[in-house]
């Protein structure tokens, strides 16, 4: 059996080789996990991971996955004690049999030993298990030489997008306070700060039936309607209110910030603290976030990963969801899942994160969005002109944030924003044709 990872072929000839290769398929050394590796023409096509133990029926989406990826063989590996692993392995092998997929190998690994569920020979598969060491394997050495990486555990991968600390956190906290102060000052001069919430917009208001596949509702700045001198679209037949005009300017500037940040990311540049903070505020407006969503490219992962680490917690759900989308598109659904857990730990109701988590839980490929993601001008046509109510999610986030002079030098105390701790709803860590 040959495994194709990032166009790198590793020849696997034994259960020990499989156990050495799995960490490079999923990106870290698993524990208390079930791994299902689907193969087509003797090459690994997809690898998925779940926590064990798991509720019955968790693996049901595998049937559609096997059909979609034309999987002909499957390797199942469980990590942990038998009482946790065996029911999961039994469910996976039963689903494979029902789908007409051959189970090439099914293993359980625990405490440096492995057992095979498909071999009953005491000679090669003794009841006490067979010792193995994945880190000293030939396969591990070959994978490392070829540039593949297997982190020590899932927690290490989580730390790659964990909140920045120390001086970096303090600098971003101050930059965020400055950006919020600037916004508050501008709002105060706009109709006394009376930004109406008569028709608040909810995240994800544009439905899949409308062709946007859950892309959030918001405003447009490129709609083909007459524009005021400030460049803000006017409602046909009359002038917009001062509050709506302010919202239009804010949205237009936010769209420009998104495009500039994407261009900088493509050139390998990093946003400074002030730029990052202003973009974080802008992305709280759904139409601005959706600009980044519709323009998504694999090269944007670095930008969204950086902002997921640096922004204040309240502003994490949009950027973590965008990071998840970029990771999912790039075939790294493990990163996508971890990013979504961060988003949902802060806002369990954030609909973009819930939409993507639902897709991952059902083992869907990012190709399901092909032809369904609207272009920016289509968003404009569907959503209409900017309204003041579109700023309400942002205003709710900044309502209790302290002014810059309240942040004393050296203050690294708790942020005024929601905490960024704990874990959100789980999903399988799906590595769909993973390119590590």
CATH number at residue 140: 3.40.140.10
On whether residue 161 sits in a domain, the answer given is: no
Domain match, 197 and 134 both = no
Domain match, 285 and 226 both = yes
* Mean pLDDT over each residue of the chain, to the nearest integer: 82
Alpha-carbon gap, residue 252 to 46, rounded angstroms: 41
- Mean pLDDT (whole number) for 363-384: 84
Domain match, 273 and 382 both = yes
* Domain termination residue (choose one: 93, 121, 153): 153
- Mean pLDDT (whole number) for 115-130: 88
pLDDT at 124 over 50: yes
* Domain termination residue (choose one: 130, 153, 176): 153
Nearest to 360 by CA among 333, 382, 329: 333
* Domain termination residue (choose one: 110, 126, 153): 153
> What separation in angstroms does the CA of 230 have from each of 191, 257, 386?
17, 17, 13
Domain match, 132 and 271 both = no
On whether residue 159 sits in a domain, the answer given is: no
Cβ neighbours of 209 (radius 10 Å): 7
Question: Looking at residue 220, what is its pLDDT?
Answer: 30
Domain match, 214 and 290 both = yes
pLDDT band at 219 (very low <50, low <70, confident <90, very high): very low
Q: Which domain holds residue 13?
A: 2-153
Question: For 223-227, 308-312, 327-331, which range has the lowest pLDDT when averaged over its residues?
Answer: 223-227
Domain match, 250 and 385 both = yes
pLDDT at 113 over 60: yes
What proportion of the chain, given as a percentage, has pLDDT over 70?
Answer: 79
Domain match, 145 and 237 both = no
> Following CA atoms 222, 226, 230, 232 in sequence, which dihedral angle do they give, to the nearest 10 degrees?
-50
Per DSSP, 28 falls in state B
Domain match, 130 and 230 both = no
pLDDT at 423 over 80: no
On whether residue 304 sits in a domain, the answer given is: yes
Residue 8 pairs with which residues in a beta bridge? 5
pTM: 0.80
Does residue 66 contact residue 34 with C-beta atoms inside 8 Å? no
On whether residue 134 sits in a domain, the answer given is: yes
On whether residue 160 sits in a domain, the answer given is: no
pLDDT at 199 over 60: no
On whether residue 320 sits in a domain, the answer given is: yes
Domain match, 146 and 179 both = no
Q: Structural domain tally of the chain?
A: 2
Residue 399 pairs with which residues in a beta bridge? none
- Mean pLDDT (whole number) for 53-76: 94
Query: Which of 93-97, 120-124, 189-193, 398-402 is predicted most confidently?
Result: 93-97
Per DSSP, 135 falls in state G
pLDDT band at 435 (very low <50, low <70, confident <90, very high): very low
- Mean pLDDT (whole number) for 318-339: 94
pLDDT at 277 over 70: yes
On whether residue 314 sits in a domain, the answer given is: yes
Domain match, 294 and 258 both = yes
Alpha-carbon gap, residue 281 to 292, rounded angstroms: 14
Q: For residue 351, what is the enclosing H or E element?
A: helix 351-361
Domain match, 15 and 89 both = yes
On whether residue 158 sits in a domain, the answer given is: no
Domain match, 109 and 223 both = no
């Amino acid at each position: 059996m040959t495994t194709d990872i990032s166009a790198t072929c590793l020849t696997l000839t034994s259960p020990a080789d499989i156990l050495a290769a799995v960490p490079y398929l999923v990106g870290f050394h698993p524990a208390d996990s079930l791994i299902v590796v689907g193969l087509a023409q003797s090459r690994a096509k997809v690898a998925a991971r779940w926590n064990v133990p798991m509720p019955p029926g968790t693996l049901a989406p595998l049937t559609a996955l096997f059909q979609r990826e034309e999987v002909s063989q499957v390797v199942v590996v469980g990590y942990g004690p038998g009482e946790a692993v065996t029911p999961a392995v039994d469910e996976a092998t039963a689903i494979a049999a029902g789908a007409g997929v051959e189970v090439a190998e099914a293993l359980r690994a625990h405490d440096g030993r492995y057992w095979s569920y498909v071999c009953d020979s005491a000679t090669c598969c003794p009841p006490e298990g067979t010792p193995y060491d994945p880190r000293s394997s030939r396969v591990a050495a070959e994978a490392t030489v070829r540039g593949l990486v297997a982190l020590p555990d899932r927690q290490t991968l989580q730390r790659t997008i964990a909140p920045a600390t120390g001086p970096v956190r303090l600098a971003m906290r101050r930059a965020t306070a400055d950006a919020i102060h600037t916004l508050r000052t501008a709002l105060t001069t706009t109709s006394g700060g009376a930004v109406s919430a008569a028709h608040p917009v909810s995240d994800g208001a544009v439905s899949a039936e409308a062709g946007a596949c859950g892309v959030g509702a918001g405003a447009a700045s490129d709609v083909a309607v007459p524009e005021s001198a400030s460049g803000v679209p006017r409602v046909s037949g009359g002038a917009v209110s001062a509050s709506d005009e302010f919202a239009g300017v804010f949205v237009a500037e936010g769209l420009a910030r998104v495009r500039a940040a994407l261009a900088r990311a493509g050139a390998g540049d990093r946003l400074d603290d002030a730029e990052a903070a202003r973009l974080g505020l802008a992305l709280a407006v759904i139409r601005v976030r959706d600009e980044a969503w519709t323009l998504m490219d694999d090269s944007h992962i670095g930008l969204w990963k950086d902002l997921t680490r640096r922004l204040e917690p309240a502003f994490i759900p949009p950027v973590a969801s965008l990071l998840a989308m970029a990771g999912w598109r790039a075939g790294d659904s493990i990163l996508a899942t971890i990013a979504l857990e961060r988003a949902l730990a802060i806002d369990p109701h954030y609909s973009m994160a819930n939409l993507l988590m639902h897709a991952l839980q059902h083992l869907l490929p990012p190709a399901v969005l092909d032809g369904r993601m609207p272009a920016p001008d289509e968003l404009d046509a569907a959503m209409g002109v900017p309204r003041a109510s579109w700023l309400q999610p942002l205003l709710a986030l900044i309502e209790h944030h302290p002014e810059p002079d309240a942040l004393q030098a050296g203050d690294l105390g708790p942020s005024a924003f929601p905490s960024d701790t704990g874990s959100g709803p789980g999903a399988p860590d799906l590595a769909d044709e993973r390119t590590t």
